[in-house]
């Protein structure tokens, strides 16, 4: 009897309500929802019980009615509690899974940062070596022909080999890194290495040493011997000229600087 009554109560509730999530409501563009109070639910239960009793021709004995009502309410509350416990359990499980995933990601991130930091250090060292080499090459170039270009070429080659050498294994045990991230990192390091090699080659070309044959100093004044004297009015046309600011201060300062340099 009580079960039948509860069934009526539930159908009454189901007919008057729908189940949905907050996300779904948001997707529908709903910012606000109407909330039904528990007292209203109880009132509904009471009304449903009265209607069920009347339909079955049960006399409206107040004591029996109250007993049935209490029974129905208790069953409803039990079912509601069970339902909520199930939902809470699912949410808790989802939360635990998410937490575990985040912890794993954090570990992987830490490992990646560690590797990146090592690569950065190696890159800085390589750049520093390149800058030193750049300065050395400039000095060698200033020394004109005294140095052998072949030596410079060998130096450039050895530097390139050094940069290309794989990094030494690191003592700190790094946690496993996701293969995709590792691949991207390797790719980026390779790209940097290629860029460095290209820059070294460029420096080599600048000073006339590279894998290509040595460039000799071109004598270009001959180019202008073949330019014919063109007919025109340049001698008859005045060049536009204007007074400019004085440079005597600059010349005097230059002279004094040279004088002070010469004295030391």
Interaction residues for another protein, span 186-225 (CB under 8 A): 202, 206, 217-225
Six-digit token string for 30: 């709903």
Residue 157 or 253: the one with the smaller Cβ distance to another protein is 253
Give the residue, chosen from 29, 145, 249, 264, that forms a contact with another protein under the rule CB under 8 A: 249
Applying CB under 8 A, the span of 23-31, 100-108, 175-183, 247-255 interacting with another protein comes to: 247-255
Interaction of residue 22 with another protein, rule CB under 8 A: no
Interaction of residue 23 with another protein, rule CB under 8 A: no
Give the residue, chosen from 18, 144, 233, 264, that forms a contact with another protein under the rule CB under 8 A: 233
How far is the C-alpha of 186 from the C-alpha of 188, rounded, in Å? 5
Give the residue, chosen from 123, 127, 189, 197, that forms a contact with another protein under the rule CB under 8 A: 127
How far is the C-alpha of 134 from the C-alpha of 128, rounded, in Å? 10
Q: Minimum distance from CB of 205 to another protein (Å)?
A: 10
DSSP annotation string for 86-115: HHHHHHHHHHHHHHHHHHHHHHHHHHHHHH
Q: How far is CA 104 from the centre of its chain?
A: 18
Six-digit token string for 253: 């300062």
Q: What contacts 114, CB < 8 A, 6 or more positions away?
A: 170, 172, 174
Interaction of residue 235 with another protein, rule CB under 8 A: yes
Give the residue, chosen from 106, 116, 135, 212, that forms a contact with another protein under the rule CB under 8 A: 135
Applying CB under 8 A, the span of 61-69, 88-96, 163-171, 255-263 interacting with another protein comes to: 255-263
Six-digit token string for 3: 């079960």
How far is the C-alpha of 238 from the C-alpha of 216, rounded, in Å? 41
Residue 168 or 237: the one with the smaller Cβ distance to another protein is 237
* Count, residues near another protein per rule CB under 8 A: 46
**Residue owning tokens 């309410």:** 73
How far is the C-alpha of 213 from the C-alpha of 92, rounded, in Å? 72
Q: Minimum distance from CB of 215 to another protein (Å)?
A: 8
How far is the C-alpha of 69 from the C-alpha of 50, rounded, in Å? 9
Q: Which residues bind another protein (CB under 8 A)?
A: 127-128, 131-132, 134-135, 202, 206, 217-225, 227-228, 230-251, 253-255, 257-258
């Amino acid at each position: 009897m009580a079960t039948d009554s509860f069934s009526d109560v539930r159908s009454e509730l189901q007919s008057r309500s729908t189940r949905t999530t907050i996300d779904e409501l948001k997707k529908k563009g709903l910012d606000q929802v109407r909330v039904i109070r528990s007292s209203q639910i109880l009132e509904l239960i009471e009304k449903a019980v009265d209607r069920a009793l009347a339909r079955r021709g049960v006399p409206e004995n107040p004591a029996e009615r109250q007993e049935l009502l209490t029974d129905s309410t208790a069953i409803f509350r039990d079912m509601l509690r069970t339902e909520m416990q199930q939902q809470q359990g699912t949410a808790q499980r989802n939360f635990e899974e998410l937490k575990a995933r985040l912890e794993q990601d954090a570990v992987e991130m830490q490992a990646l940062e560690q590797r990146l930091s090592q690569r950065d250090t190696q890159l800085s060292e390589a750049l520093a070596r390149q800058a030193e080499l750049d300065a050395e090459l400039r000095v060698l170039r200033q020394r004109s022909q005294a140095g052998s270009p072949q030596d410079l070429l060998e130096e450039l080659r050895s530097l390139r080999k050094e940069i290309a050498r794989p990094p030494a294994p690191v003592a700190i045990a790094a946690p496993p890194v996701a293969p995709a991230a590792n691949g991207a990192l390797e790719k980026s390091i390779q790209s940097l290495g290629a860029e460095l090699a290209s820059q070294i080659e460029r420096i080599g070309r600048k000073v006339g040493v590279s894998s290509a044959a040595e460039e000799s100093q071109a004598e270009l004044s001959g180019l202008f011997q073949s330019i014919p004297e063109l007919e025109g009015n340049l001698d008859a046309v005045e060049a536009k000229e204007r007074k400019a600011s004085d440079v005597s201060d600059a010349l005097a300062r230059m002279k004094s600087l040279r004088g002070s340099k010469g004295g030391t």
